[in-house]
């Protein structure tokens, strides 16, 4: 078992993480304020509890009269041949605990009740032999955790054979209720000693491009003022720089400094040193530092393929999920084999598939030269870049998900998530759930986009894509908004939505782009945004911005194009503000499930804004998102498995869990401050928002992987390949091949102009982006701290405008803009006040 180097007092289960993140953080010991076992009374089932069977043990788990009921039909050949357990119980060395539960059995028998190590030697931290009778007994005792802190111990009842007592037994049921585990005295607990290694200097563990901006982020600084970049081979310092930008980083609860070493450009291996701090991990500088990462980000999708035999030394398997699937609510059976497993589970869902495919195709378009035909998939060497082969594998499955009337079925999966097994072992019935308008519009957009890309390689396939797109468009015209909700008996990924407006926008634009027919734009009045699975408007914007064969004289086109550009620039401005205000450079201030995708998505928008405006700051911020993902973050982790020095080793990914080590090249979901699984609750409850991540395979809300978290990484790698705006020309030249003929198109870069409206009249909206958010508080503070740059006449493009100044004056109205205004906005956002003073 991995050394349990973790943090956290697991017992405080109440605080709001947003507020906690904004408050001073105390390391003093925290006495448990409650029961560590979240499901202790079984009023609504056995969630959180599970069974383990081996060596002939047989049992089933359920509830009876609000108690856990474990029916044992065979005790098997070992004392642990039948177990019922509750996972992830944190036990701190020297902590005094009280364990309590009610228990009885329908036959008299002996069992063992204990809390044990989950893995390793399975040592018991506390153990009790229990002679059960049909009379309920209450077990209630205190124990001290003598062993080293184990944050993920397991409460287990061994209900297998007990030779010494009664041996074989008839079928019987064991009842458990009112389970409670409390930490009653932590005065001798040293929480700090069980925290993981947290590097004081964080760098991009994969490396930096020769000409890219290179930033290291420091913490734990006392009075140091400078740092050195040291050549890892010669151990000689090649650069000395200053620690700059001291920042109180609330979301990570630490003080940070940054160090800029962009001028180091010689290819090689380096580390950063700063007196009194541990050296950073070693990293590379060079032009090809991301080549393998880019290939693996795509090859991972091959290993996620379903319905075909997979060739791989570690993760190879026979074809899985090949049975016909039942259309929900009917007896119809259809073939929907193929496609990629969505994530750590084996569902296949049209909505996230569309995002993944779009990212891959646009990634290819952004820099075709990066994509070879030899990344090691079966189609390698067939004359088509592997990234297009891989995307096609998904597109062919998507086609099977189109119903006869043109609509797209939302998803196919079993009714429940499978155990932690290889995909061939998930053999329950496959169910295709009903058509939705979100899936259909996403489907339509992807097919229209694909038609364009495969024209050069396979005209028949391109035509099939276009036919499928036409048919789904007809369905969309005939059918109103129909968003998806899981039927009550299906619990797998829902990918529900509030609206299909953004999906329809993307579909309309993509149909226009594929056909040149302006009728598709008639439904498009304004640009919408979003690049995740639930909001996809920016794919429509990207389609317009990167479109090559538009009729540039058409007013309809011009309006749609201008709207798309404005939408992208507006978002980029706000992302840039957030990124520049954060020492680690990330473009988000809230960390939700899949935050690494959101960060990568923002990087895509920033890079596009860089291309549109030619502004270096946008390129730098896009690169900063890559840096965050690859190690410049408060948890000191490179979030792509198998890359960098420290990366996810225990992803929530069933093949990795079944095989026993992490598949390479997968981007984990990342920090999630909402603590949405029991491992995150156990490990991260007292962590500030930006540190709620745990490399634990149970943590599906921070450490799962998905096809659509990898794909924006691929796209971002493409877009940031040329990061130096000065090296770019004032025009973008793109070579496209349509119907075999090559056309070179030159698009003038637009610079920002008055058309990008700033007419919002919203109190609090200091940056005039149409909403009141942290970016506004940040801009106010920047304008006060650095008026030359961010003041009303400031040199920075993002300086506050006069309209922004008027909007910003929300407290002590009339006194001009002060820190009080920024504080009022923050308080409003943190819900400590209901409305702004003005
Ligand atoms: O956006 C809201 C935010 O406004 C709010 O303040 C915050 C507070 O809870 O929540 C945010 O929503 C989160 C949402 O993702 C963001 O997109 C939800 O908490 C969170 O529960 C939701 O998680 C989704 C998760 O499924 C559970 O439904 C993930 O986005 C989604 O990627 C994930 O997808 C799963 C599939 O269902 C099954 N396959 C694996 C896949 C990845 O984990
Ligand atoms: O394994 C599932 C993961 O792929 C999903 O993203 C996640 C959220 O939908 O759910 C996981 O399954 C968990 C389920 O939601 C609750 N019980 C434990 C399951 C983990 O095996
Ligand atoms: Zn499969």
Per-residue pLDDT at 750 exceeds 80 = no
- Ligand 1 centre and the CA of 817: distance in Å? 37
Amino acid 779: pLDDT: 82
pLDDT of residue 29: 31
**How far apart, in Å, are the Cα atoms of 418 and each of 156, 423, 494?**
22, 9, 16
pLDDT band, very low/low/confident/very high, at 307 (cuts 50, 70, 90): very high
Does 748 or 342 have the greater pLDDT score?
A: 342
Q: What pLDDT is stored for residue 804 in this prediction?
A: 86
Q: What is the pLDDT of residue 26?
A: 26
Choice from 592, 669, 706, 712 to test ligand 1 binding pocket (greatest atom count within 8 A of CB): 592
Per mean pLDDT, which range of 49-53, 89-93, 496-500, 773-777 is the poorest?
A: 773-777
pLDDT at 831: 66
**Apex CA 204: angle with CA 199 and CA 208, to 5°?**
145
Tokens 């160090």 correspond to what residue?
A: 259
SS3 476: helix
Please classify residue 679 by burial: count the beta carbons closer than 10 Å to its beta carbon, then call 0-12 exposed, 13-18 middle and 19+ buried.
Answer: buried
Return mean pLDDT, the chain: 89
Q: Distance, CA 721 to ligand 2 centroid (Å)?
A: 36
Q: Which of 381-385, 420-424, 602-606, 746-750 has the lowest mean pLDDT?
A: 746-750
The closest residue, in CA terms, to atom 10 on ligand 2 is: 700
How would residue 150 be classed by pLDDT, with cut points 50, 70 and 90?
Answer: confident
Asked if the model's pLDDT at residue 752 lies above 80, the reply is no
Contacts of 467 (CB under 8 A, 6+ apart): none
pLDDT at 815: 72
Residue nearest to atom 5 of ligand 2 (CA): 700
Q: Comparing 402-406, 557-561, 684-688, which segment has the lowest mean pLDDT?
A: 684-688
Query: Cα(first)–Cα(last) distance of the chain, in Å?
Result: 57
Per CATH, domain 27-193 is 3.30.230.70: no
**431 pLDDT band (50/70/90 cuts)?**
very high
Q: Is 674 in the pocket of ligand 1 (CB under 6 A)?
A: yes
pLDDT at 273 over 60: yes
Residue 355 burial (CB count, 10 A): 26
> Atom 24, ligand 1: which residue's CA is nearest?
593
pLDDT at site 4 = 27
pLDDT at site 724: 58
Task: For 16-41, write each residue's pLDDT tens digit.
Answer: 222 222 222 222 233 334 788 989 99
Top-confidence residue, 604 or 151: 604
When pLDDT is cut at 50, 70 and 90, the band that residue 681 belongs to is confident
Instruction: State in Å: Cα 398 to ligand 3 middle.
Output: 14
pLDDT of residue 743: 33
pLDDT at 820: 81
732 lines ligand 1 (CB under 6 A): no
Sign of CA dihedral 179, 185, 189, 192: positive
In percent, the amount of the chain with pLDDT more than 70 equals: 90
Q: Calculate how far, in angstroms, residue 348's C-alpha sits from the geometric centre of ligand 3.
A: 8
| Rounded Cα–Cα distance for residues 28 and 7 (Å) | 13
Whether 704 is in the pocket of ligand 1, judged by its Cβ within 6 Å, is yes
Question: Which atom of ligand 1 lies at the shortest distance from residue 701's CA?
Answer: 43
Question: Does the Cβ of 676 fall within 6 Å of ligand 1?
Answer: yes
Instruction: Measure the CA–CA gap between 310 and 378, rounded to whole angstroms.
Output: 9
Report domain extents, the chain.
27-193, 499-581, 729-829
Nearest CA owner, ligand 1 atom 23: 593
Longest dimension (CA), the chain: 90
Residue 763 predicted with pLDDT over 90: no
| Gap between the Cα atoms of 410 and 413, Å rounded | 10
Helix axes 437-454, 501-515, angle to 10 degrees: 20
Contacts of 708 (CB under 8 A, 6+ apart): 352, 353, 355, 356, 359, 532, 533, 597
pLDDT above 70: residue 509: yes
Tens digit of pLDDT for each residue in 810-831?
887 777 788 788 878 877 766 6
The residue with tokens 């407290």 is: 811
Whole-angstrom Cα distance, residue 469 to residue 484?
Answer: 20
pLDDT value for 47: 87
Residues in the chain: 838
Least-confidence region, from 125-134, 149-158, 351-360:
149-158
Task: Please report the pLDDT score of residue 269 as a whole number.
Answer: 98
- Arithmetic mean of pLDDT, 122-128: 97
Task: Determine the pLDDT at residue 335.
Answer: 98
* Residue 581: per-residue pLDDT: 97
Mean pLDDT, rounded, for 50-55: 95
pLDDT at 219 over 50: yes
Cα-to-centroid distance, 639 and ligand 2 (Å): 20
Q: In sequence order, which residues have a C-beta less than 8 Å from that of residue 234 and are 6 or more positions away?
A: none
Q: Is the pTM of this model over 0.75?
A: yes
pLDDT, mean of residues 731-754: 34
In this structure, are strands 283-286 and 208-209 parallel, antiparallel, or unpaired?
A: parallel
456: pLDDT strictly greater than 70: yes
Candidates 753, 443, 723, 446; CA nearest to 606 is 723
Amino acid 442: pLDDT: 98
Going by alpha carbons, the residue nearest to atom 41 of ligand 1 is 343
User: Residue 710 above 50 pLDDT?
Assistant: yes
- HEC per residue, 325-355: EEECCCCCEECCCCCECCECCCCEEHHHHHH
Q: What share of residues in the chain are helix, strand, coil (percent, to 5)? A: 30, 20, 50
For residues 388 and 363, what is the distance between their CA atoms, to the nearest angstrom? Answer: 10
In whole angstroms, what separates CA 239 from the centre of its chain?
Answer: 35
DSSP secondary structure of 631-693: T-STT---SBTTSSSS--SS-B-HHHHHHTSPPTT-BB----TT--SHHHHHHHTTS-GGG--
Whether the pLDDT of residue 470 is over 60: the answer is: yes
Q: Which tens digit of pLDDT belongs to each residue from 78-102?
A: 999 999 999 878 899 999 999 999 9
pLDDT for 832 equals 66
C-alpha dihedral over 286, 291, 297, 298, to 10 degrees? 160
611-649 confidence digits (pLDDT tens): 999 999 999 999 999 999 999 999 999 999 999 999 999
Position 670 pLDDT exceeds 50: yes
| Span from the CA of 343 to the centroid of ligand 2 (angstroms) | 11
Output the pLDDT for position 837.
77
Q: Which of 336-350, 671-685, 706-720, 787-801 has the lowest mean pLDDT?
A: 787-801
> Residue 790 and residue 475: Cα distance in Å, rounded?
50
Beta bridge partners of 737: 742
- Model pLDDT, residue 740: 33
**Given a cut of 60, is residue 803 above it in pLDDT?**
yes
Please state the rounded mean pLDDT for residues 787-796: 78
Greater confidence (735 vs 608) lies with 608
Residue 659 CA to ligand 3 center (angstroms) comes to 16
Q: From atom 12 of ligand 2, which residue's Cα is the shortest distance away?
A: 417
């Amino acid at each position: 078992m991995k050394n349990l180097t973790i943090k956290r007092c697991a017992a405080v289960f109440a605080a709001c993480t947003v507020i906690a993140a904004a408050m001073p953080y105390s390391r003093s010991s925290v006495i448990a304020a409650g029961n560590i076992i979240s499901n202790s009374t079984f009023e609504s089932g056995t969630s959180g509890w599970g069974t383990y069977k081996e060596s002939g043990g047989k049992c089933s788990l359920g509830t009876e009269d609000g108690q856990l009921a474990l029916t044992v039909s065979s005790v098997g050949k070992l004392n642990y041949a039948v177990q019922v357990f509750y996972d992830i119980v944190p036990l701190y060395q020297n902590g005094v605990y009280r364990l309590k539960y009610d228990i009885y059995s329908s036959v008299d028998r002996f069992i063992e009740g204990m809390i044990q190590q989950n893995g390793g030697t399975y040592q018991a931290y506390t153990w009790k032999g229990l002679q059960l009778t049909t009379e309920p007994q209450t077990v209630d005792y205190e124990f001290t955790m003598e062993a080293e802190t184990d944050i993920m111990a397991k409460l287990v009842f061994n209900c297998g054979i007990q030779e010494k007592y009664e041996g074989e037994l008839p079928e019987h049921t064991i009842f458990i209720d009112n389970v409670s585990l409390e930490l009653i005295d932590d005065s001798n607990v040293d929480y700090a000693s069980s925290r993981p290694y947290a590097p004081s200097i964080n760098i991009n563990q994969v490396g930096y491009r020769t000409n890219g901006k290179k930033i290291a982020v420091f913490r734990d600084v006392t009075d140091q003022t400078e740092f050195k970049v040291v050549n890892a081979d010669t151990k000689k310092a090649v650069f000395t720089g200053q620690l700059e930008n001291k920042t109180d980083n609330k979301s990570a609860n630490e003080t940070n400094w940054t160090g800029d070493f962009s001028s180091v450009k010689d290819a090689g291996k380096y580390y950063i040193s700063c007196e009194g701090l541990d050296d950073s991990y070693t990293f590379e500088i060079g032009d090809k530092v991301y080549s393998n990462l880019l290939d693996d980000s795509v090859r991972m999708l091959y290993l996620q393929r379903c319905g075909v035999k997979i060739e791989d030394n570690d993760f190879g398997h026979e074809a899985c999920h090949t049975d016909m699937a039942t259309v929900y609510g009917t007896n119809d059976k259809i073939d929907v084999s193929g496609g990629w497993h969505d994530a750590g589970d084996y569902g296949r869902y049209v909505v996230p598939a569309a995002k993944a495919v779009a990212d891959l195709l646009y990634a290819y378009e952004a820099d075709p030269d990066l994509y070879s035909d030899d990344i090691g998939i079966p189609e390698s060497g067939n004359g088509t870049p592997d990234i297009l082969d891989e995307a096609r594998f998904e597109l062919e499955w998507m086609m099977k998900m189109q119903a006869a009337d043109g609509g797209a079925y939302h998803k196919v999966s079993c009714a429940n998530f499978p155990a932690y097994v290889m995909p061939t072992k998930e053999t329950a019935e496959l169910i295709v759930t009903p058509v939705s308008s979100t899936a259909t519009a996403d489907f339509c957009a992807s097919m229209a986009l694909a038609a364009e890309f495969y024209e050069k390689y396979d005209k028949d396939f391109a035509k099939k894509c276009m036919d499928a797109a036409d048919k789904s468009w007809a369905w969309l015209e005939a059918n109103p908004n129909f968003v998806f909700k899981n039927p009550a008996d299906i619990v797998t990924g829902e990918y529900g939505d509030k609206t299909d407006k953004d999906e329809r926008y993307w579909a309309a634009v993509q149909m226009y782009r594929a056909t040149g027919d302006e009728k598709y734009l008639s439904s498009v009045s304004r640009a919408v945004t979003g690049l995740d699975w639930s909001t996809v408007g920016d794919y429509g914007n990207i389609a317009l911005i990167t479109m090559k064969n538009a009729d540039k004289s058409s007013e309809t086109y011009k309006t749609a194009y201008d709207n798309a550009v404005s939408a992208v620039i507006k978002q980029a401005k706000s992302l840039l503000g957030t990124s520049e205000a954060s020492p680690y450079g990330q473009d988000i201030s809230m960390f939700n499930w899949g935050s690494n995708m959101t960060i990568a998505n923002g990087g895509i928008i920033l890079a596009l804004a860089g291309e549109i405006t030619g502004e270096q700051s946008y390129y730098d911020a896009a690169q900063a998102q890559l840096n965050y993902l690859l190690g410049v973050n408060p948890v000191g982790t490179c979030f792509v498995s198998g890359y960098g020095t420290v990366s996810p080793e225990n992803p929530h990914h069933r093949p990795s869990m079944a095989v026993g080590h992490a598949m390479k090249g997968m981007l984990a979901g990342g920090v999630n401050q909402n603590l949405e699984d029991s491992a995150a609750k156990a490990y991260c409850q007292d962590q500030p928002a930006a540190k709620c991540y745990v490399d634990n395979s149970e943590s599906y809300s921070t450490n799962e992987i998905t096809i659509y978290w990898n794909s924006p990484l691929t796209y971002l790698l493409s877009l940031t390949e040329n990061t130096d705006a000065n090296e770019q020309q004032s025009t973008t030249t793109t070579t496209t091949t349509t119907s075999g003929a090559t056309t070179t198109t030159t698009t003038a870069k637009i610079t920002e102009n008055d058309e990008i409206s700033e007419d919002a009249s919203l109190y609090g909206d200091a940056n005039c982006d149409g909403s009141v958010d942290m970016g506004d508080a940040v801009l106010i503070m920047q304008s006060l701290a650095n008026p030359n740059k961010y003041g009303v006449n400031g040199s920075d493009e993002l300086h506050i405008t006069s309209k922004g100044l008027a909007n910003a004056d929300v407290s002590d109205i009339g006194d001009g803009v002060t820190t009080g205004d920024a504080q009022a906005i923050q308080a409003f956002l943190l819900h400590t006040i209901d409305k702004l003073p003005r």
